[in-house]
Protein backbone atom coordinates (compact mmCIF):
# COMPACT_ATOMS: atom_id res chain seq x y z
CA UNK A 1 0.00 0.00 0.00
CA UNK A 2 1.55 3.30 -1.07
CA UNK A 3 1.23 6.70 0.61
CA UNK A 4 -1.78 7.73 -1.50
CA UNK A 5 -3.73 4.60 -0.54
CA UNK A 6 -2.93 5.13 3.11
CA UNK A 7 -4.09 8.73 2.85
CA UNK A 8 -7.41 7.59 1.33
CA UNK A 9 -7.92 5.10 4.16
CA UNK A 10 -7.26 7.68 6.84
CA UNK A 11 -9.45 10.31 5.14
CA UNK A 12 -12.23 7.74 5.17
CA UNK A 13 -11.75 7.19 8.89
CA UNK A 14 -11.79 10.92 9.57
CA UNK A 15 -14.95 11.40 7.50
CA UNK A 16 -16.68 8.56 9.35
CA UNK A 17 -15.81 10.11 12.71
CA UNK A 18 -16.98 13.56 11.59
CA UNK A 19 -20.39 12.15 10.68
CA UNK A 20 -20.99 10.95 14.27
CA UNK A 21 -19.45 13.69 16.35
CA UNK A 22 -19.22 17.42 16.57
CA UNK A 23 -16.79 18.89 14.07
CA UNK A 24 -13.48 19.91 15.52
CA UNK A 25 -10.11 20.67 14.05
CA UNK A 26 -7.88 17.60 14.28
CA UNK A 27 -4.41 17.31 12.87
CA UNK A 28 -4.19 14.47 10.35
CA UNK A 29 -1.05 12.45 11.00
CA UNK A 30 -0.24 9.56 8.71
CA UNK A 31 1.81 6.70 10.12
CA UNK A 32 5.25 6.22 8.69
CA UNK A 33 5.37 3.93 5.67
CA UNK A 34 6.53 0.39 6.31
CA UNK A 35 9.87 -0.79 4.96
CA UNK A 36 8.05 -2.85 2.34
CA UNK A 37 6.16 0.24 1.15
CA UNK A 38 9.41 2.20 0.97
CA UNK A 39 11.05 -0.57 -1.06
CA UNK A 40 8.19 -0.62 -3.55
CA UNK A 41 8.02 3.17 -3.79
CA UNK A 42 11.78 3.64 -4.33
CA UNK A 43 12.09 0.62 -6.62
CA UNK A 44 15.19 -0.84 -4.93
CA UNK A 45 15.80 -3.42 -2.22
CA UNK A 46 18.82 -2.40 -0.15
CA UNK A 47 20.58 -5.29 1.56
CA UNK A 48 23.64 -6.08 3.63
CA UNK A 49 25.48 -9.34 3.14
CA UNK A 50 28.91 -10.90 3.58
CA UNK A 51 31.62 -11.10 0.93
CA UNK A 52 32.81 -14.70 1.07
CA UNK A 53 32.83 -17.88 -0.97
CA UNK A 54 29.17 -18.71 -0.43
CA UNK A 55 27.16 -15.58 0.38
CA UNK A 56 28.28 -12.99 -2.21
CA UNK A 57 31.40 -12.75 -4.36
CA UNK A 58 32.73 -11.79 -7.78
CA UNK A 59 34.56 -14.48 -9.72
CA UNK A 60 35.91 -13.93 -13.24
CA UNK A 61 33.82 -10.79 -13.42
CA UNK A 62 30.52 -12.49 -12.60
CA UNK A 63 28.63 -11.80 -9.38
CA UNK A 64 27.62 -14.96 -7.55
CA UNK A 65 26.69 -16.31 -4.14
CA UNK A 66 23.91 -18.16 -2.34
CA UNK A 67 22.43 -15.18 -0.53
CA UNK A 68 23.13 -12.86 -3.47
CA UNK A 69 21.19 -15.04 -5.91
CA UNK A 70 18.36 -15.47 -3.41
CA UNK A 71 18.20 -11.71 -2.79
CA UNK A 72 18.13 -11.10 -6.55
CA UNK A 73 15.24 -13.53 -6.94
CA UNK A 74 13.35 -11.93 -4.06
CA UNK A 75 13.89 -8.46 -5.55
CA UNK A 76 12.55 -9.69 -8.89
CA UNK A 77 9.57 -11.16 -7.04
CA UNK A 78 8.85 -7.67 -5.64
CA UNK A 79 9.43 -6.05 -9.03
CA UNK A 80 12.37 -3.95 -7.78
CA UNK A 81 16.14 -3.81 -8.27
CA UNK A 82 18.60 -5.31 -5.82
CA UNK A 83 21.32 -3.09 -4.36
CA UNK A 84 24.12 -4.45 -2.17
CA UNK A 85 24.71 -1.46 0.10
CA UNK A 86 27.56 -2.78 2.25
CA UNK A 87 29.41 -6.01 2.95
CA UNK A 88 31.55 -7.48 5.70
CA UNK A 89 30.88 -5.05 8.50
CA UNK A 90 31.05 -6.11 12.12
CA UNK A 91 27.75 -7.92 12.69
CA UNK A 92 26.73 -5.66 15.58
CA UNK A 93 27.30 -2.65 13.32
CA UNK A 94 25.25 -4.24 10.54
CA UNK A 95 22.33 -4.88 12.92
CA UNK A 96 22.55 -1.31 14.19
CA UNK A 97 22.46 0.09 10.65
CA UNK A 98 19.52 -2.16 9.78
CA UNK A 99 17.65 -0.67 12.72
CA UNK A 100 18.58 2.84 11.56
CA UNK A 101 17.10 2.19 8.12
CA UNK A 102 20.28 1.98 6.06
CA UNK A 103 19.30 -1.50 4.84
CA UNK A 104 15.97 -3.20 4.26
CA UNK A 105 17.30 -6.71 4.90
CA UNK A 106 20.27 -8.57 6.28
CA UNK A 107 20.58 -11.14 3.48
CA UNK A 108 22.97 -13.50 5.24
CA UNK A 109 22.86 -16.59 7.41
CA UNK A 110 21.78 -15.45 10.88
CA UNK A 111 20.87 -17.68 13.79
CA UNK A 112 17.79 -16.50 15.64
CA UNK A 113 19.04 -16.00 19.19
CA UNK A 114 16.79 -14.46 21.90
CA UNK A 115 19.04 -11.39 22.08
CA UNK A 116 18.83 -10.83 18.33
CA UNK A 117 15.05 -11.30 18.33
CA UNK A 118 14.84 -8.17 20.48
CA UNK A 119 16.73 -6.19 17.82
CA UNK A 120 15.48 -7.51 14.46
CA UNK A 121 12.53 -9.32 12.86
CA UNK A 122 13.58 -12.76 11.71
CA UNK A 123 12.17 -14.27 8.55
CA UNK A 124 11.34 -17.97 8.20
CA UNK A 125 14.39 -20.27 8.18
CA UNK A 126 16.17 -20.73 4.86
CA UNK A 127 17.62 -24.02 6.07
CA UNK A 128 18.94 -25.70 9.19
CA UNK A 129 22.49 -26.68 10.01
CA UNK A 130 24.72 -27.71 12.92
CA UNK A 131 27.28 -25.62 14.75
CA UNK A 132 30.57 -27.53 14.68
CA UNK A 133 34.08 -27.35 16.06
CA UNK A 134 36.73 -26.94 13.37
CA UNK A 135 40.16 -28.44 14.10
CA UNK A 136 43.25 -29.47 12.16
CA UNK A 137 43.37 -33.18 11.40
CA UNK A 138 47.19 -33.08 11.39
CA UNK A 139 46.98 -32.53 15.15
CA UNK A 140 45.46 -34.79 17.81
CA UNK A 141 41.70 -34.56 17.30
CA UNK A 142 39.27 -34.17 20.16
CA UNK A 143 36.09 -36.20 19.93
CA UNK A 144 33.87 -34.80 22.71
CA UNK A 145 33.15 -31.32 24.13
CA UNK A 146 34.64 -32.35 27.49
CA UNK A 147 38.07 -32.50 25.85
CA UNK A 148 37.92 -28.75 25.23
CA UNK A 149 38.84 -28.19 28.87
CA UNK A 150 41.93 -25.98 29.02
CA UNK A 151 41.93 -25.29 25.27
CA UNK A 152 41.72 -21.99 23.40
CA UNK A 153 38.95 -21.39 20.84
CA UNK A 154 38.90 -18.41 18.46
CA UNK A 155 35.64 -17.00 17.11
CA UNK A 156 34.81 -13.93 14.99
CA UNK A 157 34.14 -10.79 16.99
CA UNK A 158 30.42 -9.97 17.43
CA UNK A 159 29.28 -13.52 16.56
CA UNK A 160 27.48 -13.72 19.86
CA UNK A 161 25.70 -16.98 19.01
CA UNK A 162 29.01 -18.85 19.07
CA UNK A 163 30.07 -17.09 22.27
CA UNK A 164 26.86 -18.09 24.06
CA UNK A 165 27.11 -21.66 22.79
CA UNK A 166 30.61 -22.00 24.23
CA UNK A 167 29.57 -20.40 27.50
CA UNK A 168 26.70 -22.87 27.86
CA UNK A 169 29.08 -25.74 27.17
CA UNK A 170 31.39 -24.58 29.95
CA UNK A 171 28.53 -24.16 32.41
CA UNK A 172 26.82 -27.48 31.63
CA UNK A 173 29.99 -29.57 31.50
CA UNK A 174 31.78 -27.75 34.33
CA UNK A 175 34.88 -27.18 32.20
CA UNK A 176 36.88 -24.07 31.38
CA UNK A 177 38.53 -22.93 28.16
CA UNK A 178 39.54 -19.58 26.70
CA UNK A 179 37.31 -17.95 24.09
CA UNK A 180 39.22 -15.42 21.97
CA UNK A 181 37.24 -12.98 19.81
CA UNK A 182 39.25 -11.80 16.81
CA UNK A 183 38.36 -8.41 15.34
CA UNK A 184 37.81 -8.11 11.59
CA UNK A 185 37.85 -11.88 11.19
CA UNK A 186 35.05 -13.78 9.53
CA UNK A 187 34.28 -17.46 9.72
CA UNK A 188 36.14 -18.47 6.56
CA UNK A 189 39.20 -16.49 7.70
CA UNK A 190 39.25 -18.48 10.91
CA UNK A 191 38.87 -21.79 9.12
CA UNK A 192 41.88 -20.82 7.04
CA UNK A 193 43.85 -20.05 10.22
CA UNK A 194 42.99 -23.52 11.52
CA UNK A 195 44.00 -25.04 8.17
CA UNK A 196 47.39 -23.31 8.29
CA UNK A 197 47.93 -24.17 11.97
CA UNK A 198 47.92 -20.58 13.24
CA UNK A 199 45.04 -21.31 15.62
CA UNK A 200 43.84 -24.61 17.04
CA UNK A 201 40.05 -24.36 17.03
CA UNK A 202 37.13 -22.30 15.83
CA UNK A 203 33.34 -22.71 15.66
CA UNK A 204 31.32 -22.40 12.47
CA UNK A 205 28.09 -23.51 10.81
CA UNK A 206 28.43 -27.05 9.51
CA UNK A 207 27.44 -26.27 5.93
CA UNK A 208 30.20 -23.63 5.68
CA UNK A 209 32.73 -26.08 7.12
CA UNK A 210 31.64 -28.75 4.66
CA UNK A 211 32.16 -26.64 1.54
CA UNK A 212 35.37 -25.10 2.93
CA UNK A 213 36.81 -28.58 3.37
CA UNK A 214 36.77 -29.02 -0.41
CA UNK A 215 39.66 -26.54 -0.64
CA UNK A 216 41.14 -26.95 2.84
CA UNK A 217 41.86 -30.68 3.18
CA UNK A 218 43.36 -30.52 6.66
CA UNK A 219 40.27 -29.31 8.54
CA UNK A 220 38.02 -31.62 10.53
CA UNK A 221 34.49 -30.62 11.48
CA UNK A 222 33.12 -33.91 12.79
CA UNK A 223 32.47 -32.69 16.36
CA UNK A 224 28.95 -31.21 16.50
CA UNK A 225 28.42 -28.74 19.34
CA UNK A 226 24.80 -27.84 18.56
CA UNK A 227 22.35 -29.54 16.23
CA UNK A 228 19.56 -28.28 14.00
CA UNK A 229 20.22 -24.52 14.11
CA UNK A 230 17.92 -22.41 11.91
CA UNK A 231 19.50 -19.92 9.51
CA UNK A 232 17.40 -16.91 8.47
CA UNK A 233 17.39 -13.43 6.98
CA UNK A 234 16.45 -10.47 9.17
CA UNK A 235 14.28 -7.39 8.62
CA UNK A 236 14.21 -4.27 10.82
CA UNK A 237 12.37 -4.59 14.15
CA UNK A 238 8.59 -4.63 13.83
CA UNK A 239 8.65 -4.91 10.02
CA UNK A 240 6.22 -7.80 9.76
CA UNK A 241 5.00 -6.93 6.24
CA UNK A 242 8.45 -7.35 4.71
CA UNK A 243 9.14 -10.52 6.72
CA UNK A 244 5.80 -12.00 5.63
CA UNK A 245 6.60 -11.16 2.00
CA UNK A 246 9.93 -12.96 2.35
CA UNK A 247 8.20 -15.94 3.96
CA UNK A 248 5.60 -16.23 1.19
CA UNK A 249 8.33 -16.06 -1.46
CA UNK A 250 10.36 -18.70 0.42
CA UNK A 251 7.40 -21.06 0.35
CA UNK A 252 7.23 -20.65 -3.43
CA UNK A 253 10.90 -21.31 -4.13
CA UNK A 254 10.90 -24.18 -1.66
CA UNK A 255 8.03 -25.81 -3.55
CA UNK A 256 9.47 -25.22 -7.03
CA UNK A 257 12.91 -26.51 -6.01
CA UNK A 258 14.90 -23.31 -6.58
CA UNK A 259 15.95 -23.00 -2.94
CA UNK A 260 17.23 -26.58 -2.86
CA UNK A 261 19.03 -26.14 -6.20
CA UNK A 262 20.86 -23.03 -4.98
CA UNK A 263 21.75 -24.65 -1.67
CA UNK A 264 23.25 -27.65 -3.44
CA UNK A 265 25.19 -25.41 -5.81
CA UNK A 266 26.92 -23.45 -3.06
CA UNK A 267 27.09 -25.85 -0.12
CA UNK A 268 27.13 -29.38 -1.50
CA UNK A 269 28.91 -29.42 -4.86
CA UNK A 270 32.68 -29.01 -5.02
CA UNK A 271 33.54 -25.43 -6.09
CA UNK A 272 35.25 -25.29 -9.48
CA UNK A 273 38.25 -22.94 -9.67
CA UNK A 274 41.32 -22.85 -11.92
CA UNK A 275 44.30 -25.04 -11.05
CA UNK A 276 44.80 -25.95 -7.42
CA UNK A 277 43.85 -22.60 -5.93
CA UNK A 278 40.95 -22.48 -3.51
CA UNK A 279 38.10 -20.09 -4.14
CA UNK A 280 38.84 -18.63 -0.72
CA UNK A 281 42.39 -17.76 -1.77
CA UNK A 282 41.18 -16.25 -5.03
CA UNK A 283 38.59 -14.06 -3.32
CA UNK A 284 41.08 -12.80 -0.76
CA UNK A 285 43.20 -11.34 -3.56
CA UNK A 286 40.32 -9.00 -4.36
CA UNK A 287 40.57 -9.83 -8.07
CA UNK A 288 37.82 -9.14 -10.56
CA UNK A 289 39.67 -10.35 -13.66
CA UNK A 290 43.13 -11.27 -14.97
CA UNK A 291 43.37 -7.72 -16.30
CA UNK A 292 42.89 -5.81 -13.05
CA UNK A 293 46.39 -4.32 -13.03
CA UNK A 294 46.10 -3.14 -16.66
CA UNK A 295 42.64 -1.68 -15.97
CA UNK A 296 43.94 0.17 -12.93
CA UNK A 297 46.76 1.70 -14.97
CA UNK A 298 44.50 2.66 -17.88
CA UNK A 299 41.91 4.29 -15.61
CA UNK A 300 44.30 6.74 -13.92
CA UNK A 301 44.34 9.46 -16.64
CA UNK A 302 40.54 9.35 -16.73
CA UNK A 303 40.26 9.69 -12.96
CA UNK A 304 37.50 7.10 -12.64
CA UNK A 305 37.29 4.27 -10.16
CA UNK A 306 39.04 1.38 -11.92
CA UNK A 307 36.19 -0.90 -10.89
CA UNK A 308 33.82 1.15 -13.08
CA UNK A 309 36.13 0.57 -16.05
CA UNK A 310 36.18 -3.12 -15.12
CA UNK A 311 32.37 -3.11 -15.21
CA UNK A 312 32.47 -1.61 -18.72
CA UNK A 313 34.97 -4.26 -19.84
CA UNK A 314 32.78 -7.02 -18.41
CA UNK A 315 29.67 -5.71 -20.18
CA UNK A 316 31.58 -5.25 -23.44
CA UNK A 317 33.52 -8.49 -23.65
CA UNK A 318 33.20 -10.54 -20.42
CA UNK A 319 36.99 -10.08 -20.12
CA UNK A 320 37.60 -11.96 -23.37
CA UNK A 321 40.53 -10.20 -25.07
CA UNK A 322 39.70 -11.94 -28.37
CA UNK A 323 36.02 -10.95 -28.41
CA UNK A 324 34.85 -9.61 -31.77
CA UNK A 325 31.41 -8.25 -32.60
CA UNK A 326 29.46 -8.57 -35.84
CA UNK A 327 30.20 -4.87 -36.44
CA UNK A 328 33.97 -5.31 -36.24
CA UNK A 329 34.52 -4.08 -32.68
CA UNK A 330 37.36 -5.94 -31.03
CA UNK A 331 38.92 -6.81 -27.70
CA UNK A 332 38.25 -6.08 -24.05
CA UNK A 333 36.56 -2.73 -24.66
CA UNK A 334 35.18 -3.59 -28.12
CA UNK A 335 37.22 -0.98 -29.99
CA UNK A 336 36.34 -0.02 -33.57
CA UNK A 337 39.29 0.42 -35.99
CA UNK A 338 38.34 4.07 -36.61
CA UNK A 339 38.44 4.82 -32.88
CA UNK A 340 41.88 3.23 -32.55
CA UNK A 341 43.10 5.21 -35.54
CA UNK A 342 41.81 8.45 -33.99
CA UNK A 343 44.10 7.82 -31.01
CA UNK A 344 47.00 6.73 -33.26
CA UNK A 345 46.93 3.13 -32.05
CA UNK A 346 47.41 0.31 -34.55
CA UNK A 347 47.95 -2.69 -32.26
CA UNK A 348 44.62 -2.36 -30.48
CA UNK A 349 44.36 -6.17 -30.43
CA UNK A 350 46.68 -6.19 -27.41
CA UNK A 351 44.84 -5.89 -24.05
CA UNK A 352 46.90 -2.89 -22.84
CA UNK A 353 46.46 -1.01 -26.12
CA UNK A 354 42.77 -1.89 -26.25
CA UNK A 355 42.27 -0.53 -22.74
CA UNK A 356 44.24 2.60 -23.62
CA UNK A 357 42.01 3.35 -26.60
CA UNK A 358 38.81 2.62 -24.65
CA UNK A 359 39.70 4.82 -21.69
CA UNK A 360 41.04 7.55 -24.00
CA UNK A 361 37.69 7.58 -25.79
CA UNK A 362 35.87 7.76 -22.45
CA UNK A 363 38.08 10.72 -21.53
CA UNK A 364 37.24 12.38 -24.86
CA UNK A 365 33.50 11.85 -24.24
CA UNK A 366 33.89 13.30 -20.75
CA UNK A 367 35.31 16.54 -22.15
CA UNK A 368 32.78 16.61 -25.00
CA UNK A 369 29.77 16.31 -22.68
CA UNK A 370 30.97 18.56 -19.85
CA UNK A 371 29.32 21.74 -21.30
CA UNK A 372 26.00 19.89 -21.49
CA UNK A 373 26.16 18.06 -18.14
CA UNK A 374 28.35 19.98 -15.65
CA UNK A 375 27.90 17.53 -12.75
CA UNK A 376 30.69 14.94 -13.02
CA UNK A 377 28.79 12.13 -11.31
CA UNK A 378 25.65 12.62 -13.37
CA UNK A 379 27.73 12.92 -16.54
CA UNK A 380 28.96 9.33 -16.18
CA UNK A 381 25.55 8.02 -17.30
CA UNK A 382 25.64 10.23 -20.40
CA UNK A 383 29.19 9.06 -21.17
CA UNK A 384 28.24 5.41 -20.87
CA UNK A 385 25.26 5.90 -23.18
CA UNK A 386 27.54 7.71 -25.66
CA UNK A 387 30.10 4.91 -25.51
CA UNK A 388 27.39 2.48 -26.54
CA UNK A 389 25.24 4.50 -28.97
CA UNK A 390 27.45 7.43 -29.93
CA UNK A 391 27.43 11.00 -28.55
CA UNK A 392 25.28 12.31 -31.41
CA UNK A 393 22.24 10.32 -30.31
CA UNK A 394 22.77 11.37 -26.70
CA UNK A 395 22.86 15.04 -27.77
CA UNK A 396 19.62 14.47 -29.69
CA UNK A 397 18.04 13.10 -26.50
CA UNK A 398 19.30 16.13 -24.55
CA UNK A 399 17.70 18.48 -27.08
CA UNK A 400 14.42 16.54 -27.04
CA UNK A 401 14.36 16.57 -23.23
CA UNK A 402 14.74 20.36 -23.24
CA UNK A 403 11.99 20.72 -25.85
CA UNK A 404 9.49 18.67 -23.81
CA UNK A 405 10.19 20.45 -20.52
CA UNK A 406 12.47 17.88 -18.94
CA UNK A 407 15.82 18.59 -17.30
CA UNK A 408 18.50 18.16 -20.03
CA UNK A 409 21.22 17.75 -17.38
CA UNK A 410 19.61 14.77 -15.61
CA UNK A 411 19.63 11.23 -16.93
CA UNK A 412 17.08 9.28 -14.88
CA UNK A 413 13.46 9.97 -15.92
CA UNK A 414 14.61 12.88 -18.06
CA UNK A 415 17.11 12.45 -20.92
CA UNK A 416 17.04 8.65 -20.68
CA UNK A 417 13.37 8.65 -21.71
CA UNK A 418 14.07 10.32 -25.05
CA UNK A 419 17.04 8.12 -25.84
CA UNK A 420 14.98 5.04 -24.95
CA UNK A 421 12.21 6.11 -27.32
CA UNK A 422 14.43 7.37 -30.15
CA UNK A 423 13.36 4.39 -32.22
CA UNK A 424 9.88 5.97 -32.51
CA UNK A 425 9.17 8.15 -35.57
CA UNK A 426 7.74 11.02 -33.50
CA UNK A 427 11.18 11.46 -31.92
CA UNK A 428 13.76 10.39 -34.50
CA UNK A 429 11.94 12.44 -37.19
CA UNK A 430 11.89 15.53 -34.99
CA UNK A 431 14.01 18.33 -36.45
CA UNK A 432 16.03 18.39 -33.22
CA UNK A 433 17.04 14.75 -33.69
CA UNK A 434 19.90 15.45 -36.07
CA UNK A 435 21.21 11.86 -36.02
CA UNK A 436 17.95 10.09 -36.85
CA UNK A 437 16.93 6.61 -35.75
CA UNK A 438 18.60 4.92 -32.77
CA UNK A 439 17.98 1.70 -30.89
CA UNK A 440 18.10 3.76 -27.70
CA UNK A 441 16.55 1.07 -25.54
CA UNK A 442 19.72 -0.97 -26.00
CA UNK A 443 21.91 1.96 -24.90
CA UNK A 444 19.63 2.56 -21.90
CA UNK A 445 19.95 -1.08 -20.82
CA UNK A 446 23.70 -0.87 -21.32
CA UNK A 447 23.97 2.06 -18.88
CA UNK A 448 21.91 0.16 -16.32
CA UNK A 449 23.93 -3.03 -16.79
CA UNK A 450 27.28 -1.26 -16.34
CA UNK A 451 26.13 0.61 -13.24
CA UNK A 452 24.60 -2.53 -11.71
CA UNK A 453 27.83 -4.43 -12.34
CA UNK A 454 29.86 -1.58 -10.86
CA UNK A 455 27.63 -1.60 -7.79
CA UNK A 456 28.72 -5.17 -7.05
CA UNK A 457 32.37 -4.57 -7.98
CA UNK A 458 32.59 -1.68 -5.49
CA UNK A 459 32.59 -4.24 -2.71
CA UNK A 460 36.00 -5.47 -3.87
CA UNK A 461 38.92 -3.47 -2.49
Active site residues per annotation: 316
* Angstrom distance (rounded) from CA 292 to CA 460: 11
Tell me the C-alpha to C-alpha distance, in Å, between residue 122 and each of 51, 99, 226, 297, 451.
21, 13, 20, 45, 31
Q: How far is the first Cα of the chain from the last one, in angstroms, to the nearest whole number?
A: 39
Residue 431: how many CB atoms within 10 A of its CB?
A: 7
* Angstrom distance (rounded) from CA 73 to CA 53: 19
> Which residues sit opposite 52 in a β-bridge?
56
Amino acid sequence: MNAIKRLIVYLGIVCNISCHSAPEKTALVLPEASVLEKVLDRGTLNVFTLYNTTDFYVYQGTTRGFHYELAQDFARNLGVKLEIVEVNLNLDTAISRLRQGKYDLLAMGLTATPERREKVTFCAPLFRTDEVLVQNRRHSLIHSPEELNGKQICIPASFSAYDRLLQRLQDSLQIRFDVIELDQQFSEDLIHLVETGLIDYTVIDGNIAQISACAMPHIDYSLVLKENVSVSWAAPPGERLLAEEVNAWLQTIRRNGKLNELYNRYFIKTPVVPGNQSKYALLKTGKISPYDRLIQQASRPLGWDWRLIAAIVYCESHFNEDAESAFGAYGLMQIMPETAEHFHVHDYFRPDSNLYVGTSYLRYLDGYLTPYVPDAKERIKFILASYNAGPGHVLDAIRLARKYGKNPQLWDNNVDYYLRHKSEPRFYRDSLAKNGYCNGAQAYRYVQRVLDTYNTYRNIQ
